[in-house]
């Protein structure tokens, strides 16, 4: 009986979050949605944890379905990766994020725009050239764009990813290790990739003020990152306690619902006004 219970035990958070009970999205639906411009970025602010100043935004995919409403990425990114549609999705997201970055910069808002990359994209022949053509077309500088890659995916594909990442870094793109602390990478593996930023996973950030072990891991990751001269980012800051703890731990940049939820591009100026008044 115990064995049965153990077999069905699932670690918390292991099951994908379901937001509704509608049937899963199909490959065909996503293909059409991408062509129709239904997949758009929402932007979540990344702010300086001391001054509160806006430093950048992260682009997060949202599928604006005409009948079902907004579909979150957890419901279609895994399918996109299985079917290969992720390559088109990455390009669609990049095009919009770069065009938005150019608009913001032309209005004097010099913030970095981060884009999530699937590890699969790093293996596409000609991927680097495609991105370079795109930044030329949109007249943005590579150093205004940050590419976020999850720690787990980097480790799994290090051989393939390394060359592509090194070339992107040489061109000036920022490279961020996403979800740090969940991927079991070794220091040796990470040291081989020219990262510029380390994003501590939400599970360390949110639990840290009540759990000493998490706090110790968090602090040592921050210490290591700053010695490697990486920009440190804490994601998933939800409470004022989280914020203060990260501030005291010397983290540079914060992101989370406490500061702002992801929002459409046109809401950013209004948020910024209210944020500065605080």
The least CB distance from residue 125 to ligand C2E, in Å, is: 19
- Interaction between residue 238 and ligand C2E (CB under 6 A): yes
Report the site for ligand C2E in 121-140 (rule: CB under 6 A): none
Among 25-33, 135-143, 160-168, 234-242, which window interacts with ligand C2E (CB under 6 A)?
Answer: 234-242
Q: Whole-angstrom Cα distance, residue 264 to residue 90?
A: 18
Q: Residue 58: enclosing H or E segment and its boundaries?
A: strand 54-65
User: Is 221 in contact with 200 (CB distance < 8 Å)?
Assistant: yes
* Near ligand C2E by CB under 6 A: residue from 52, 73, 207, 250: 73
Site size toward ligand C2E, by CB under 6 A: 20
| Binding partner at 60 among ligand C2E, Ca ion, none, C-beta below 5 to 8 Å by kind | ligand C2E
String of DSSP letters for 229-267: TPEEEE----SHHHHHHHHHTT--EE-STTT---B-GGG
Per CB under 6 A, the segment of 130-138, 180-188, 213-221, 235-243 that binds ligand C2E is 235-243
Q: Are strands 39-48 and 54-65 parallel, antiparallel or unpaired?
A: antiparallel
For 93, other C-beta atoms within 10 Å of its C-beta total: 20
Nearer to ligand C2E, 88 or 238 (CB): 238
Closer of 201 and 243 to Ca ion (Cβ): 201
Residue 118: partners with Cβ closer than 8 Å, 6 or more residues away: 77, 80, 81, 86, 90, 153
How many CB atoms sit inside 10 A of residue 161's CB?
21
Least distance in angstroms from the C-beta of 1 to ligand C2E: 35
**Which whole-number Å values give the CA distances from 48 to 87, 93, 113, 259, 267, in the listed order?**
32, 25, 15, 11, 20
Q: Which of residues 166-205 bind ligand C2E (CB under 6 A)?
A: 178-179, 202
Q: Of 4 and 16, which CB lies nearer to ligand C2E in the complex structure? A: 16
Q: Does 148 contact Ca ion by CB under 5 A? A: yes
Among 151, 178, 197, 242, binds Ca ion (CB under 5 A): 178
Closest approach of ligand C2E to the CB of residue 197, in Å: 13
| Interaction between residue 197 and Ca ion (CB under 5 A) | no
Q: Does 74 bind ligand C2E (CB under 6 A)?
A: yes
DSSP letter for 19, please.
S
Q: x/- binding map, residues 239-258, to ligand C2E, per CB under 6 A?
A: -----------------xx-
In 3D space, the residue among 160, 135, 143, 158 whose CA is nearest the CA of residue 196 turns out to be 143
The residues binding ligand C2E (CB under 6 A) are 44, 60-61, 72-74, 77, 93, 116, 118, 178-179, 202, 235-238, 256-257, 262
């Amino acid at each position: 009986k115990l064995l049965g219970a153990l077999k069905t035990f699932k670690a918390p958070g292991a099951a994908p979050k379901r937001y509704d009970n509608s049937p899963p999205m199909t490959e065909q639906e996503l293909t059409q949605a991408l062509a129709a411009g239904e997949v758009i970025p929402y932007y979540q602010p990344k702010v300086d944890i001391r001054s509160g100043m806006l430093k950048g935004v992260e682009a997060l995919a949202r599928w604006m379905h005409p009948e079902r409403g907004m579909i979150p990425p957890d419901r279609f990114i895994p399918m996109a990766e299985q079917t290969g549609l992720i390559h088109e999705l990455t390009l669609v997201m990049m095009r919009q994020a770069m065009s938005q970055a150019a608009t913001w910069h032309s209005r004097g808002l010099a913030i970095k725009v981060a884009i999530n990359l699937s590890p699969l994209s790093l293996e596409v022949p000609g991927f680097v050239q495609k991105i370079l053509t795109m930044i030329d077309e949109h007249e943005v500088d590579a150093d205004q764009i940050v590419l976020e890659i999850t720690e787990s995916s980097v480790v799994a594909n290090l051989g393939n990813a390394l060359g592509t990442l090194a070339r992107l870094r040489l061109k000036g793109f920022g490279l961020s290790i996403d979800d740090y602390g969940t991927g079991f990478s070794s220091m040796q593996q990470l040291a081989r990739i020219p990262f510029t930023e380390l994003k501590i996973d939400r599970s360390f950030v949110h639990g840290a003020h009540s759990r000493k072990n998490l706090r110790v891991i968090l602090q040592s990751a921050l210490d290591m990152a700053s010695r490697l001269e990486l920009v440190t980012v804490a994601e998933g800051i939800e409470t004022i306690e989280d914020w203060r703890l990260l501030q005291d731990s010397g983290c540079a940049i914060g992101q989370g619902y406490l500061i702002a939820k992801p929002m459409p591009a046109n809401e950013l100026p209004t948020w910024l006004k209210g944020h500065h008044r605080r």
